[in-house]
Chain A
Amino acid sequence: MTTALDTDVRPEDRFISAFEVNHGQTLNGTSASISQQREDAIERFAELGIPTNDLELWKYTNIAKIIDRPYTLPLGAEPASVDPSQIEPFLIDGMDAHRVVLVNGRVDESLSDIGELPPGVVVSSLAQAGKDHPDVVEEHYGKYADFEDEAMTALNTAFVQDGAFVYVPSGTVVEKPIFFLHVTSTDQDLFLQPRHLFVVEDGAIAKIVEAQHSLTDTQTFTNTVGEAFVGEKGNLDHYLIQDEGPNASQVHTRAAQQKDDSVYSTQTITYTGEVIRNNATVEADGSFCESNLFGLCVGKDDMHVDNHTRMDHVQPDCNSNELYKHVLNDESTAVFNGKVFVSRGSQRIDAYQQNDTIVLNNEAQIYTKPELEIYADDVVCSHGATTGQLDDEGIFYLRSRGLSERRAKILMLQAFTEEVISELSIEPLRDYVTDLVRSRFATYV
């Protein structure tokens, strides 16, 4: 069942009426509390409305304009036939992983190859987890991605149906990366809202890789919300590659919560897309946490990438490290808005935030706003931001060593991005991203 969104009415109302029409459609096998949350979320969405440029948090990204297109909102499971050969190009060479393929936000088991998992570990669709592991879903679902001030999160919560699910029980180590391959395959303009939940319990270790690709030329909009929980002494690496092509727009919201002595590292590689907004929120709700937020965007054409991060230090003795880099060419635009928040009493926090941008072209634009909001005195917090072009002296040096100007520039750009890419802990993935980025640079000069 689908609902075509009527473009004559206010975009908010289209969603609200779609919600009313399809009241019964819900996350399979979920509890009353989740249903209640959906009701609250649509109410909150109605109050907040779709974000406009008037809001400080959306100042540089006009998402309302993108959402106001005649998208189709799928409200039930629709079989989409994707041939295994079609996903072949999206696989990462040499990365032996537990692979799950999601087509239009729903797990496609015939394309997936989960393989053997350590005992107790669950990798499945969220809908399936709602049936098989209601206690885990109940405990963590909707707890970290707050929709009180985020209209897009409220919208996702209201329409929640399916998505990815990972559960790693206490003390379990998942050696191989868990790879979620998201593809869109449709002949319509689709509005998708997948929802993911990743739970890594005390002392457990996991690596999750997500990659977004598209098999269509139609316009799509994906409003994703992903939640992650890392228990005491847990360790989660969470990587995302965004490569959906020039017709795909998205708002990607990630919210993670960490407990004592845990490590959470996330990295976002933005390669293609039309308008992309990433919200990454990490709450270090325990002492001695380590949080790493990295991002890389290599812009081309009229791509618009907006990275918002929020690092919440609500407990003492933690450290966080944030580095976002952009290379902008053509008419691409990048926005970076990072916030480090240290609440009262969260002493001995060591937080670092950096955003560097290389602008290659007259039409490219960068808006950056690294923020600190600090209410504790015994902290070391710093941030830095630079924007500029390639260093002439560096190019001269390389040319004097016999490199062509083109080679010299590509090498310098690679060096610039290496600092972020080298943080990826999976070697085949690192190689894959390095190649991706290098092939982009080759088109620049």
Chain B
Amino acid sequence: MSTSETEYLKGKASEEYEHGWYTDIESDKAPKGLSEDIVRFISHKKDEPEWLLDWRLKAYEYFEQLLESGHYPDWAHLDYERPDFQNMRYYAAPKGKADYDNLDEVPDEILETFERLGIPLEEQKALTGVAVDAVMDSVSVATTFKEKLKEKGVIFKSFGEAAKEHPEIVREYLGSVVPYTDNMYAALNSAVFSDGSFVYVPEGVTCPMELSTYFRINEQGTGQFERTLIVTEPGAYVSYLEGCTAPMRKENQLHAAVVELVAHEDSEIKYSTIQNWYPGDEDGEGGVYNLVTKRGICKGDNSKISWTQLETGSAVTQKYPSVILAGDNSVGEFYSVAFTKGHQQADTGTKMQHIGKNTKSTIISKGISADYADNSYRGLVKVGKNADGARNFSQCDSMLLGPDCGAHTYPYIESANPSAQIEHEATTSKVGEDQMFYCHQRGLGEEEALKLIVNGFCKEILQELPMEFAVEAKELLAIELEGSVG
């Protein structure tokens, strides 16, 4: 690394987190700590039906058991302090009403918050045709485009609303893909989740627009536990996007979400994430613990689930968006770019479980590490006995920017069927001097060249994102690179 780069890097490292401001809205908070009463409090606050409360309590009981027996999922290549579950708030809603019928009712402060995030609701409504369900801390603030979706029969609601208005659907699918017994954080989420999104696309309907949710942890000392459930009936299609940010905090915040996707026959779900939670300061202090359980099931034949993620934030990320390929000829895809810098740590990847016949999965993962960051890919491809003709292709590439970071690959392949074809390849390298030289020769400066090369490295993934997001993703990546490339 040349001196000019080092200086540049230092300058950029001291730059502040772009989304690190804090909206001062009075909020309706639960007291700190976790107990059965808190679970009841949340359920009561949200005016939930009895069955949901029962489910939460069962999950809470299970969580307690796990906590007592010390079943922390800390096997990943991550080094962080276990969160103190009693020193956290489990509910914080912007004060006043939780739901708004139209945008005019939404307090200006909240709207401004989202505007600074770059997702002005009005503008999006007019220009991009994206319906946005914005979740601040825990409560869904406003959902646009409800009317238009209603015409098609698509249900796109906050989870709380959906539980009240469509209990039969929610009840059927809630916990069917990620049961509360899955792991400690899934149990915690099931007990205390405060909101999230619910999408239901009826038979044969192609959702007329991209659906999108923005999550943001605003209140100090809170955790965010949202829950997303997406169900597509036979022949339906939906593309769903989520984005995440959090303000700067000295202490670590916990984000333990659960996402469940259910795809019936011939249907397709495309799920895209841009995760940009606050990563902590340059000494590794503060930042969000992003410990998320995401899983989809291709229930019907010929169904497809595709995960695309761009992970640039969070102090600690541990998530493995997975697909259970139960239906014959079903397809699972996972495209990921994980960018870690500073003292960030990420252990992310996917699980592809081939159960049905002629199922296919593709995994493309790109990890970029800079500064003191550690970036791991961990994935499982499992082919069951009856999954004749299963096919998997995995590619995991890592790029190291600097001598103090780490890049690791832990792919698990388990095959019990002779007709399965599984291929895995991984490479780890740094930006080639020849590539840099070529760019310099064409008149590009150090930084421009790096941006170009890294962008090229990630292109396969970024092009999977819906257009609006792809632009944002590229910009986000460029901003991240400015701070860390050397």
| A residues at B contact (CB < 8 Å) | 56, 344-345, 347, 357, 359-362, 364-389
Q: Which residue of B lies closest to A385 (CB)?
A: B424
Q: A374-B398, A389-B418 are in contact. Are A383 and B403 (CB under 8 A)?
A: no
Contact A366 to B408, CB < 8 A, known contacts A379-B429, A382-B428: no
Contact A383 B409 (CB under 8 A): yes
Interface residue B199 (Cβ < 8 Å from any Cβ of A): no
Check B414–A365 contact: CB distance below 8 A. Answer: yes
- Could you tell me the dominant secondary structure of chain A's interface residues? strand
A-contacting residues, B390-428, CB 8 Å = 398, 400-428
User: Quick one: given A369-B410, A373-B406, A374-B398, are A387 and B420 in contact (CB under 8 Å)?
Assistant: yes
Instruction: State whether A365 touches B415 (Cβ < 8 A).
Output: yes
Instruction: Give CA–CA (A388, B413) in the complex, Å.
Output: 12
Contact yes or no, B407 A388, CB < 8 A: no
Task: Give min CB distance, A380 to chain B, whole Å.
Answer: 5
- Contact indicator A362/B418 (Cβ below 8 Å): yes
Say if the beta carbon of B75 comes within 8 Å of chain A. yes
Residue of B nearest to A328 (CB): B418
Chain B residues, Cβ within 8 Å of A359: 415, 417-418, 420
Contact (Cβ within 8 A) A360 B418: yes
A56–B402 Cα gap in the complex (Å)? 30
Evaluate contact between A387 and B413: CB separation under 8 angstroms: yes
Verify A366–B428 contact, CB threshold 8 A.
Answer: no
CA distance A381 to B422 in the complex (A): 20
Chain B, interface SS category: strand
> Does the CB pair B418–A384 fall under 8 Å?
no
Give 26 A-B contacts (CB < 8 Å), ordered by A residue.
Answer: A347-B403, A359-B415, A360-B418, A366-B413, A367-B412, A368-B414, A370-B424, A371-B408, A371-B410, A372-B398, A372-B409, A374-B407, A374-B408, A374-B428, A377-B401, A377-B402, A379-B429, A380-B428, A381-B429, A382-B425, A382-B426, A383-B409, A384-B423, A385-B423, A387-B415, A389-B418
Nearest A residue to B378, CB-CB: A371
**Counting CB contacts under 8 A, is B164 at the interface?**
no
Is B430 an interface residue when CB atoms closer than 8 A count as contact?
Answer: yes
- Say if the beta carbon of B385 comes within 8 Å of chain A: yes
Interchain CA distance A202-B430 in the complex, whole Å? 34
Residue of A nearest to B388 (CB): A362
Distance, CA A378 to CA B426, complexed state (A): 16
Measured CB to CB, the closest approach of chain B to A411, in angstroms, equals: 19
Name the one of B75, B413, B418, B421 contacting A364, with C-beta atoms under 8 angstroms: B418
C-alpha spacing A361/B428, complex, angstroms: 34
CA distance A360 to B419 in the complex (A): 8
Known: A379-B430, A385-B422. A345 touches B413 (CB 8 A): no
Measured CB to CB, the nearest residue on chain A to B410 is: A371
Q: A388 CA to B409 CA in the complex, in Å? A: 22
In the complex, which residues of chain B have a beta carbon less than 8 angstroms from the beta carbon of A372?
398, 407-409, 426, 428
Q: How far is the CA of A50 from the CA of B98 in the complex (A)?
A: 56
Indicate if the CB atoms of B408 and A368 lie closer than 8 Å.
Answer: no
User: Which residues of chain B are within 8 angstroms of A365 by Cβ–Cβ distance?
Assistant: 414-416
Which residues of the other chain, A, contact B406 by a CB distance below 8 angstroms?
Answer: 373-375
Supplied contacts A368-B414, A373-B406, 4 more A-B pairs, CB within 8 Å: A357-B415, A371-B408, A381-B428, A385-B411
CB pair B413 A369 closer than 8 Å: yes
Residues from chain B with a CB closer than 8 A to the CB of A357 are: 415
Most chain B CB within a 10 A radius of its CB, from A384, A387, A389:
A387
In this complex, the member of B75, B77, B385, B403 whose beta carbon has the largest number of chain A beta carbons within 10 angstroms is B403
CA distance A369 to B404 in the complex (A): 25
Q: Which residues of the partner chain B approach A361 to less than 8 Å between Cβ atoms?
A: 418
**A residues within 8 A CB of B413?**
366-369, 385, 387
Select A373's contact among B405, B408, B416, beta carbons within 8 Å: B408
Per the bound structure, the CA–CA distance linking A229 and B419 in Å amounts to 43
What 0/1 pattern do residues 417 to 461 of B give for CB contact below 8 A with A? 111111111111110000000000000000000000000000000
CA distance A376 to B406 in the complex (A): 7
Q: Which of B403, B424, B428, B430 has the most CB of A within 10 A?
A: B428
B420 partner residues in chain A, CB cutoff 8 A: 359, 387-388
Docked Cα-Cα span, A386 to B424, in Å, equals: 6
The answer to whether B408 and A387 have CB atoms under 8 Å apart is: no
Question: Could you tell me the distance between the alpha carbons of A277 and B414 in the complex, rounded to whole angstroms?
Answer: 18
- Say how far B150's CB is from chain A's closest CB, in angstroms: 48
Contact of B423 among A345, A362, A364, A386 (CB under 8 A): A386
Q: Which residues of A contact B405 (CB under 8 A)?
A: 375, 377
In this complex, which of B408, B411, B418 has the most chain A Cβ atoms within 10 angstroms of its Cβ?
B418
Give chain A nearest CB distance to B47 CB in angstroms.
44
Q: Which residues of A contact B401 (CB under 8 A)?
A: 377
Chain A contacts of B416 at CB under 8 A? Answer: 364-365
Are B421 and A388 in contact (CB-based, < 8 A)?
yes
- Are A377 and B430 closer than 8 Å at their CB atoms? yes
Residues of A within 8 A of B385 (CB): 362
Q: Roughly how many angstroms separate A361 CA and B417 CA in the complex, as a whole number? A: 7
Residues of A within 8 A of B412 (CB): 367-369
With A and B bound together, what is the CA distance between A368 and B382 in angstroms?
A: 10
**Whole-angstrom CA separation of A359 from B424 in the bound complex:** 16
Q: Which residues of A have CB within 8 Å of B427? A: 380-382
Could you tell me the distance in whole angstroms from the C-beta of A197 to the nearest C-beta in chain B?
Answer: 33
For the complex, what is the distance from the CA of A370 to the CA of B425, rounded to whole Å?
A: 10
Q: Using CB atoms, name the residue of chain B closest to A370.
A: B411
CB distance from B161 to the nearest CB of A (A): 43
Name the B residues within 8 Å of A369 (CB-CB).
Answer: 410-413
Q: Which residues of A contact B411 (CB under 8 A)?
A: 369-371, 385
CA distance A387 to B416 in the complex (A): 10
List the B side residues contacting A374 at CB < 8 Å.
398, 400, 406-408, 428
Query: How far apart are the CA atoms of A364 and B418 in the complex, in Å?
Result: 8
Of chain A, the residue at the smallest CB distance from B422 is A387
Bound state CA distance, A311 and B428, in angstroms?
Answer: 16
Q: Which of A373, A376, A380 contacts B403 (CB 8 A)?
A: A376
Q: Choose among B398, B403, B404, B425 the residue that contacts A384 (Cβ–Cβ < 8 A).
A: B425
Assembly CA distance A381 to B377 (angstroms): 14
A345 and B426 within 8 A (CB): no
**Contact status A380-B418, CB under 8 Å:** no
CA separation between A365 and B417, bound complex, in Å?
A: 7
Instruction: State the CA gap A381–B417 with chains docked (Å).
Output: 30
CB contacts (< 8 Å) of B424 on chain A: these are 370, 383-386
**Distance from A413 Cβ to chain B, minimum over Cβ atoms (Å):** 13
Complex contacts, A376 vs chain B, CB 8 Å: 400, 403
Which listed residue (A56, A367, A378) contacts B414, Cβ 8 A?
Answer: A367
